[in-house]
Amino acid sequence: MSKILSIISENRDLDSFPKNVELIFADNMKSKNRAIKNSRGKFITFIENHDSIAPNFFETFVETAEKYSADIVRGRKFYLIDENQKLKLATKEHYESQNPIELLPSDRESRISLLNRRQLSQDLSGAIFNRKFLMENRIEFVADSDLIFSLQTLFAAKIYICIDAPSYIHRDSDEDFEKFLIELMNQIPIAEKILRDPILIEYFMSQSFERFRGENVENLEKILRPIFKDDTEFIERLIRFALRPIVQVSIQNEKFFAMK
């Protein structure tokens, strides 16, 4: 039996859902690609292991996707669980539009410009995708990179809607930085091959290194040198992206950062 939505999740502890929603556990590139292919939902959303679905997600996002026949509907906001276990509404975007529903321009140059001005987040948990759109464009995960997947969808989508609504709940979690950096080293040549455009490569690198904002050169050297040893050129490249200028964005008392 077909479903209205398939949730492909790295989180095994999600709450129960309506009968017309299916939950598929997938925590790596191969299992996510298999889940997309075998899913029964008209739409697909992805939930990372430290995230969960925002309240009213099904009504808001599925209804918008249906109404506009959208390939993608992306929420501009999300909920953050703070140190007191309270929800705060937040955004990582530095966007100018005040429209609650916005159709993105269809040309590649305008969408690149939105990325370059940090007005369009590419968090995997923040969107709903039309399954037919993914299958027809043969979009899948490569090199275990959520960001490469999201950027592929951005430039393939004909109808891309952004709405001023929260899509997921995010909880910070400790990460294995050495594992992350080794994965990033493997992803970079694949990103360069698939994305091609220098601005997109720069965006990929900047977003990948966002978690190191605020570190100084000495600390970054200490983190990177034991992992990459004598690859000085690669280390210098990572440090350059990690130390790019940033502009502070404040949304409802919660501060985040976006690139200038």
How far is residue 134's CA from residue 96's CA, in Å, rounded to a whole number? 29
Tens of pLDDT, residues 223-241 = 677 767 777 777 777 776 6
Better-predicted residue by pLDDT, 22 or 246 = 22
193 and 132, same structural domain? no
235 and 186, same structural domain? yes
Domain encompassing residue 115: 3-170
Instruction: Answer whether residue 75 shows pLDDT above 50.
Output: yes
Pairing of strands 72-81, 127-130: antiparallel
How far is residue 213's CA from residue 130's CA, in Å, rounded to a whole number? 34
Tens of pLDDT, residues 134-186 = 999 999 998 778 888 988 999 899 999 999 888 888 776 655 566 666 677 77
How far is residue 213's CA from residue 63's CA, in Å, rounded to a whole number? 37
248 and 233, same structural domain? yes
**CATH number, residue 51:** 3.90.550.10
163 and 121, same structural domain? yes
Of 16, 47, 58, 203, the C-alpha closest to 125 is: 47
77 and 196, same structural domain? no
71 and 164, same structural domain? yes
Facing residues of 47 across strands?
A: 9
33 and 127, same structural domain? yes
pLDDT, residue 140, reads: 92
pLDDT, residue 257, reads: 31
- pTM exceeding the 0.85 threshold for the entire prediction: no
140 and 209, same structural domain? no
Burial pattern 215-232, b for ≥16 Cβ within 10 A else e, equals beeeebeebbeeebeeee
150 and 223, same structural domain? no
Average pLDDT of the chain to the nearest whole number: 78
Three-state DSSP state, 50: coil
Q: Where are the beta strands (DSSP E) in 61-159?
A: 72-81, 87-90, 101-103, 127-130
The domain total for the chain is 2
251 and 201, same structural domain? yes
Domain closes at, from 149, 170, 191: 170
Better-predicted residue by pLDDT, 256 or 23 = 23
Range name among 11-15, 104-108, 174-178, 245-249 with the lowest pLDDT average: 245-249
Domain closes at, from 106, 136, 170: 170
186 and 122, same structural domain? no
Of 170, 218, 149, the C-alpha closest to 11 is: 170
Residues of the chain with pLDDT > 70, as a percent, come to 77
Tens of pLDDT, residues 24-37 = 999 888 999 999 99
183 and 143, same structural domain? no
Domain closes at, from 135, 170, 205: 170
